[in-house]
Structure 1
Amino acid sequence: MGQDHLSPSVSGGAGGQAEWRRRLEALARRAEALPVRRDDLDVAVAGIGGPDAGDAELLAALREAVLARLGGYGAPETALAAALDELPKGPAGEATLEAVGNCARFVAEAFALPAADAAAFARRAVEAERQRRAERRSAARVARETRAEEERRLEAWEASLIGAGAVPALLGCTGAEAERWIRAGRLPIARRVAIREGGRTVRGPQFDPAVLEGLRASLPEWRKAEAGSPSPAPREAQAEPQGATNAAVARVAGLDRYAAHFVTARALNRRIIACLGPTNSGKTYFGLTRLAEAETGLALGPLRLLAHEYREALEARGVPTALSTGEERILAPGSRHTAATVEMCPFRTPVDVAVIDEAQMLADPERGPAWTAAIMGVPARTVIVLGAPDAAPMIGRIAGLCGDPLEEVRLERMGPLVAAADPVPLDDIGRGDAVIAFSRREVFELRSALLRRGRSVAVVYGALGPTVRRAEARRFREGEAEVLVATDAIGMGLNIGPLRRVVFSALTKWDGQQDRPLTVQEIKQIGGRAGRFGGAHAEGIVAVLEGGGDPAAIAHALAAGPAAPGDLRPPVAPDADIVAAVAAEIGTESLFGTLRRIERSVLRRDDPNYRLGDLSTQIAIAAAVDGVREFSLLDRWTYAMCPVDERDEGIERLAGWAVEHALGRTVAPPRAGHLPPPGRASQEALQMAERVHRRLVAWRWMALRFPEVFRDIDGALAESGRLNEWIEAVLATRPSGRVLALAGVEAMEAGGASRGHSRRRQFGRREGSARKA
């Protein structure tokens, strides 16, 4: 027997296991009815006993691993739903119905169903899958047809637009008259496009001919007004041309008058207090103190985790506080205060004081509109906005648009923050240090390297749920872990306790499109977590790992003053009322068509006050659910607002839920099935648990809005709790052997293989220099 068929003990440990794993992967691809997950391969490898394992023994071990996992789902129907997701897909993007039947029989075997029951279970599974596919294909076909029709409508409207040069001929006026009326705003501009003029590119206006035709009767009055006769009524008072013209759609949407959209807030005598300062300057203490003193109040932050922390801080001061996040509600009897995520801001119930944290998020292209809406629309008599000094200009712009008086409170950091003069070798990382990486993969590479050096390590990264993040932060805070390895997720207020030093693994990060240098604000925000006023580490140190960049860049960033965003216009996005109004104006029931019209034509690119936020995710979901005609437009809009992980086929899964919903069926919560003991968990098992947890977040979000369809909230909460406990246990376990080994790690972050390769290369250089040292 060749060397590659020997057991790990004979062939060199990890090398033999890796060869068995490769052979198992090939066998799994050929066994098309076997619903194999990557973590099943690890369980199978661990169960192979002989040094001369052949294909039959390998396949038997793999079958046993899958059977054991499926049995952990508790019921055949639940196991089958998970198994069908894991079946290998054919050229058409789905498994054959024959494979579905065989898979169902395999599930029946996992639950030891009698032969007759197993055959009936398989028949029902095949028929249900055939019907489900027909329903989803029908919905997808309607969605495609709707999208194509809406695109044609939009293209036809855009093709009908004319440039300024064609206006005189259309209206029967002179060129000078047309220019005057355009400058005076009498001729509404439909949009601006790039044109060549005098050897340079400028944004020239285009006009809707239908709108201009409707204004022809007004020309004599305009000419009289220009000759000295009484002025005609303002443009808004004139008859609006019929049809879904861009001017009419823009007027209905009102995004250029966004502040007026928040009627309750505009009716109050509000004042805004901007409390601005660097990390560790006492901003949160300032805000929560004012909030605790108020009769009624609201605390808004970027994360569910922070909403929990606000609630706990207020309750510790004797203030009963409710909680409201996208997927969770906690009522507090007699409470007149609420802690919430910023997207859950209530706009119709006045309170005395509202605190809105992390205002620098206004510059974020996707979530920034939520901060604009909260600051403009929160119905509070006193609005306390907390953030970095960089946010000051945008907060000032918003206060001016709202007509609210603005007071600024500037806080300084409590305790010095200094840049280390030299890079830090990995061997020198010790108790009280936080090492900052920029991908999940690098977090685990660093964790593994530090564990090999005898350090105990806690980790925090974006894929972890808030419960696990807090548990890992507690382990570090209470000294159970010497070192914290985290992504930039720790820059958003997580209570991690005193840090001696923040060490960046690199001074560049992947932003979804390219590797770019960290911004001054990112270095300050993350590095500022070092040090703690009155604590063990009063002075905070910010450094970079050896091989990760020039320490002078950190010193420069820490010394730099506030830098305003390049575009000070606050980002805005439509809400349900605006979506409904625009759809009615353009005469469509298509959510995709409505959002595309909003994206393309409702808010001018050169609007002086506002800019449109990123609607790409909502548009992608709209395109997927538009075929579910049983839904109202606003039901589809609710689906479009659901937080999904697009890398985990989240939009496709959401569209499948929509079909089940429309047909009157319930949607069961996602489940992970059997989980290996934490001490034997592989990277693949951990990643799968994280993915299922994120799916549960989306499911629970939907359950709060459609409880009659997403019914099993107790089951969802129990599964979330089980996954949290298991993930916590895995992260607290010191791995050995192949457990959490690097060989099976995949790049899970946006950017894929090229980004992971770049990070591995950088980390390899740092590891090499550390070993030489």
Structure 2
Amino acid sequence: MAQPPRGSRRVPRLTTPYDVALEPADAPDEAPPHAVSPAEAAIIASGLEVEARELPALIRRVERRLPADAAAVGAALREVRRRAWVSRLNHLASKAGRTWVRRADAEAAAGTITELTPEDETLLVALDAALGNRFRSLGHTPEETLEAIVAELAETAKGAAAGTLAPDRHAELAREVAAAFGLKGEESLPFLEAVGATEARRRREVREAETAARAKRREEVQRLRTWEKSLVEFRDVSGLLGCVEKEALRWVAAGLIPVARRIPQKGGREKWEFDPAELASLRALVPQWREADKTALDAKRRTGVSAPPIKLGRGASAAIARVAALDRYAGHFATARALNRRITLITGPTNSGKSHTALDRLAKAENGMALAPLRLLAHEFRDALQSRGVPASLSTGEERIPVAGARHLAATVEMCPFHLPVDVALIDEAQMLGDRDRGAAWTAAIMGAPARDVFVLGAPEAATQVRRIAALCGDPMEEISLKRKGPLTAARTPIPLGDLQTGDAIVAFSRRDVLDMRAELVRRGRRVAVVYGALSPEVRRAEAARFRDGDADILVATDAIGMGLNLPIRRVIFSTLRKFDGEMRRELNTQEVKQIGGRAGRYGRFEEGVVAVLAGGGSPEFIRTMLEADPMPPEDPRPLVQPDADIIANVAQEIGSDSLFGVLARIKRAVLRPDDPNYRLADLTQAMAVAGAIDGVAGLTLLERWTYAMCPVDERDNGTARLARWAIEHGAGRPVQPPSAGRLPAPERASRDELERAEKTHKRLVAWRWLALRFPQAYVARDEANGETERLDRWIEDVLRQQRRSKLVA
């Protein structure tokens, strides 16, 4: 007799290690070695052939069906074998190149199999039926469905090339879609010919756009190299200007002669290079410079005091820098500079009442604006104004909600209306000035907010840069420092996972860690809410409400809770004291510990806030040190700046180019030198990547391409390639279809992969809706996009509400 699998109970009369013929109940009398369980007895009585390795799972399933007849045992056996059928179907689909088959399709097909040992042909018939159901759910016509599937494949691809179906695969997919809609044989020919022609045209347009973009990029690189080769060294400057070398050196130091390029040398020295064309235009100014030098020298001899630096207008700046004006960025905001502005900086830790103080002042103003870092916070500002009896409109990157008669506006920082004078402006979270991705938006908002009274709110770490901006703008500034309303203390010992209390918030630093922690806590019987960056503002707000209203005991979140969510948290507990910041894994800094930990101890709910670390996550002493540390000064206090549409247009005209890539390359190389004393250029890497991808798209102007380059996309999700596809459709005058998640499984059966796919689709819809506000003639299906966004919000929230162990947390 063969031995049963380890850990399983013995079943009588096993004939082979793998193919087991269980004896029926009326088998010849033979005393079993031990009494069988009711489930085993039912399996024996069914007379079904069962493999030994299937027995443990089969017994568990039959036990749940007792009393079980042969039909019930057969149903249980099909459940056991279903996983193998799904794997087999996935293998067959992959082998046939059917990349549009999802695991969910295979699972749906396997769920319809009634045989116990189906052949491959039976499995494939079931798969075709499951695909047909999904295809028909994706659109009202085969054309709509095919578009949706092709877009879905492109969106889920790992790269641009992976997102394009080969012609033969596209044709096969079209045939399957046609069959799903009942089009077979000659009936399908018109459809197949039409979609084949459309696909051929798209491939041609993509090739043409890519070829044109490469040609433009080569041309602009050559243009830049030619310009760089034309540069001369310092020893040539005096000859080109008709002056002596000592004069040239003095005028370079005064900023009158621009250094086109500075090349680092050994020993900390620099090699200066100059644009001969710019030097030629400056030669006429040399007599004025000499006269000013003489005047300054005479004044010093008479008074003994050096005269202020000579100022002869900005004609001394290089031509490109002059039209870009990034080295005098404050002057770019004409409306703000025309106002007699006053800046009030309100700093303080979390839970110090900064927003409340400024909102009260804003609500009393005749008109004004509140600028927030997140769409969620813009909504909260609007609600806060309305609760004070002040109607307010809303403006974010992806939505506009005008209110008739409203004289106040709540908006995200990037949507600051620079040409609309108001009495009061509020700008929140000023410590974002140092953010490498969005810091330039805060620089623009603080410099350009067209308000007589500008209230800037932020952590104490923001003070240095705000003072610098106020000085560059010539605006007087008052500083108000607020203290926390309740004490914030560090726990003395780490917190074991089993000692979590209602009102605790666990902070992790990745989506995966948040969901892993959620799974473990749910397994322990705790009710959990989650917040992380990939969730939409609506879902974050819903999860926060569950925690706030007591529907969840514990909140598990990323550092997304460090900004914007007002939550009744008793203790903030870090799962780890290290995080990956996009470049490296490092320890948390003072500002991060204070900003995130400061969410503990909501005034009026908890008298004291406690910051702790989970057992095994780090040292409580580290938290105490960070909480007690002085504000951390920025590594570089110069505010970040980036070009806008006006600057792009001016530079393009100056260099005589229609290439967005070329304009951005020249700005990066020639506009704002790295050692500029006042400003530093924001990172243009992603904008240049988009520019390089869409420069060859016919039908789009330079500024339309610049708008695409500013669209918020995730490059880890193939964002640039997606924008290029949309841009081609837009440039050709065709409507750009919004992304769709297709059929979603029941929330209680959702896997992590399906949740992540839904989150990514939601983020793609954010980008689509952002573009729809700027190009309504190309992005016309706004109602459909809004409906899909709302559907995904509801589904994701329903998934996160599941508080039992399921596939999501398996």
Task: Please report the TM-score for the alignment, with normalisation by the length of structure 1.
Answer: 0.89
Within a 5 Å distance, the mapping from 1:186-265 to structure 2 comes to 186-196=256-266, 200-216=267-283, 247-265=318-336
Distance in 2 (alpha carbons) for counterparts of 1:573 and 1:148: 24
Q: CA deviation at 1:622?
A: 1.0
Contact 1:71/1:673 (<8 A) preserved: no
**Aligned position for 1:713:** 782
Deviation for aligned residue 1:168: 4.5
Deviations 1:307-335 (A, max 9, x none): 11111111112111110001101111211
1:219-618 residue pairs with structure 2 within 5 A?
247-495=318-566, 497-535=567-605, 537-618=606-687
1:142 is aligned to 212
**Structure 1 counterpart of 2:787, one-letter code:** A
- Which residue of structure 2 aligns with residue 82 of structure 1? 148
- 2:224 is matched with 154
Q: Max radius of gyration: which structure?
A: 2
Kept in 2: contact 1:355–1:386 (CA 8 A)? yes
The answer to whether the Cα contact below 8 Å between 2:430 and 2:457 also exists between their aligned partners in 1 is yes
Q: Which moved more, 1:401-410 or 1:186-195?
A: 186-195
**Contact 1:356–1:386 (8 Å) recurs in 2:** yes
Does residue 108 of structure 1 match 2:178? yes
Q: Secondary structure at the match of 1:340?
A: strand
Corresponding position of 2:697: 628
User: What is the rounded CA distance, in whole Å, between the counterparts of 2:113 and 2:507 in structure 1?
Assistant: 38
Is the contact made by 2:568 and 2:600 (CA closer than 8 Å) also made in structure 1? yes
In the alignment, which residue of structure 1 is the partner of 2:93? 28
Q: Structure 2 CA distance, aligned partners of 1:69 and 1:589?
A: 45
Give 1:499 deviation, angstroms: 0.5
Displacement of 1:66:
3.4
Tell me the CA shift for residue 475 of structure 1: 0.7
For structure 1, list consecutive stretches of 5 or more residues without a partner in the other structure.
241-245, 743-773
Task: Assess if the C-alpha contact under 8 Å between 1:7 and 1:51 holds in 2.
Answer: no
Query: Which residue in 2 is equivalent to 1:747?
Result: none
Describe the shift of the 1:230–1:130 C-alpha distance in structure 2 as closer, same or farther (beyond 3 A).
same
Give the 3 Å change call, closer, same or farther, for CA 419–220 of structure 1 in structure 2. closer
> Is residue 432–residue 438 contact of structure 2 (8 Å, CA) maintained in 1?
yes
Work out whether residues 152 and 740 of structure 2, in 8 Å CA contact, stay in contact via their aligned partners in 1.
Answer: no
How far is the alpha carbon of 1:178 from its aligned partner?
Answer: 3.4
Give the AA of the match of 1:729. Answer: D
Q: Is the 8 A contact 2:160 2:718 kept in 1?
A: no
Preserved contact between residue 271 and residue 382 of structure 1 (Cα < 8 Å): yes
What is the alpha-carbon distance in structure 1 between the residues aligned to residue 323 and residue 52 of structure 2?
70
CA distance in 2, matches of 1:43, 1:65: 6
Provide closer, same or farther for how the CA distance between residues 114 and 54 of structure 1 changes in structure 2, counting only shifts above 3 A: closer
Q: Deviations over 1:275-302 (max 9, x none)?
A: 1100111111112111111110101001
Question: 1:306-363: CA deviations, max 9, x gaps?
Answer: 1111111111121111100011011112111110000000011111111100000000
Q: Do the aligned partners of residues 20 and 356 (structure 1) sit closer, same or farther apart at CA in structure 2, a change above 3 Å counting?
A: farther
Aligned residue in 2 for 1:69: 134
Moved more, 205-214 or 583-592: 205-214
**One of 737, 754, 757 as aligned partner of 1:668:** 737
Unaligned residue ranges in structure 2 (runs of 5+): 1-17, 20-50, 62-78, 299-308
Letter in 2 for 1:84: V
Distance, in Å, in 2 between the alignment partners of 1:326 and 1:625 is 21
Per-residue CA shift, 1:617-667, capped at 9, x if unaligned?
111111111112321111111111111121221211111111111111111
SS in 1 for 2:529: strand
Taking a change above 3 Å as real, the CA distance of residues 455 and 393 of structure 1, as seen in their structure-2 partners, is same
**Aligned equivalents of 2:725, 2:234: Cα separation in 1:** 47
Give the Å deviation of 1:722. Answer: 0.8
Q: Distance in 1 between matches of 2:146 and 2:561?
A: 38
**Residue 19 to residue 405, structure 1, CA distance change in 2 (3 Å):** farther
1:156 Cα deviation from its structure 2 partner: 1.9
Deviation at 1:108, TM superposition (A): 2.4
Structure 1 position 678, deviation (Å): 0.9
1:721-740 correspondence runs (5 A): 721-737=790-806, 739-740=807-808
Secondary structure in structure 2 of the residue aligned to 1:423 = coil
1:37-74 CA deviation, whole Å, 9 max, x = no partner?
35445545666666656644554554444333322223
- Per the TM alignment, residue 82 of structure 1 is displaced from its structure 2 partner at its CA by 2.5
Q: Tell me how far apart the structure 1 counterparts of residues 60 and 689 of structure 2 sit (CA, whole Å).
A: 49
**SS in structure 2 at match of 1:484:** strand
Q: Is the 8 A contact 1:33 1:100 kept in 2?
A: no
d(CA) in 2 for partners of 1:286, 1:740: 43
Q: Secondary structure at the match of 2:791?
A: helix
- Rounded Cα–Cα distance in structure 1 between residues aligned with 2:199 and 2:144: 14
* 2:233 paired residue among 138, 160, 163: 163
Bigger drift between 342-351 and 18-27 goes to: 18-27
Q: Offset at 1:36?
A: 2.3
Distance in 1, matches of 2:293 and 2:763, equals 63
Could you list the per-position Cα deviations for residues 531-553 of structure 1 after superposition, in whole angstroms to 9, with x for gaps in the alignment? 11111x22111111122111211
Query: Partner amino acid for 1:180?
Result: R
Q: Is the 8 A contact 1:354 1:382 kept in 2?
A: yes
Task: State the Cα distance separating 1:222 from its structure 2 match.
Answer: 5.8
Identity %: 55
- Which residue of the partner structure matches residue 131 of structure 1? 201
Residues 102 and 122, structure 1, Cα contact 8 Å, conserved in 2: no
Structure 2 CA distance for aligned equivalents of residues 344 and 238 of structure 1? 30
**Residues 359, 386 of structure 1: 8 Å contact kept:** yes
* CA deviation vs aligned residue, 1:234-270 (integer Å, no higher than 9, x gap): 7856988xxxxx8001011101111111111111111
Q: One-letter code of the match for 2:749?
A: R
Q: 1:221 to 1:302 in 2, by over 3 A?
A: closer
Return closer, same or farther for 1:741/1:624 CA change in 2, 3 Å cut-off. Answer: same
Contact 1:431–1:483 at 8 Å: present in 2 too? yes
Q: How many residues align?
A: 730
* 1:174 CA drift (Å): 4.6
CA distance in structure 2 between the aligned counterparts of 1:228 and 1:494, rounded to whole angstroms: 60
Q: Give 1:685's aligned residue.
A: 754
More displaced 10-residue stretch of structure 1: 334-343 or 665-674:
665-674
Which residue of 1 is the match for residue 726 of structure 2? 657
Answer with 646-655 or 277-286: which moved more. 646-655
Indicate the SS of the match to 2:423. strand
Answer with 537-546 or 383-392: which moved more.
Answer: 537-546
Cα distance between partner residues in 2 of 1:201 and 1:21: 64
Cα-to-partner distance string for 1:59-104 (whole Å, 9 max, x where unaligned): 4554444333322223233321232245598996432212112111
CA RMSD of aligned residues (A): 2.8
Shift of 1:111: 3.2
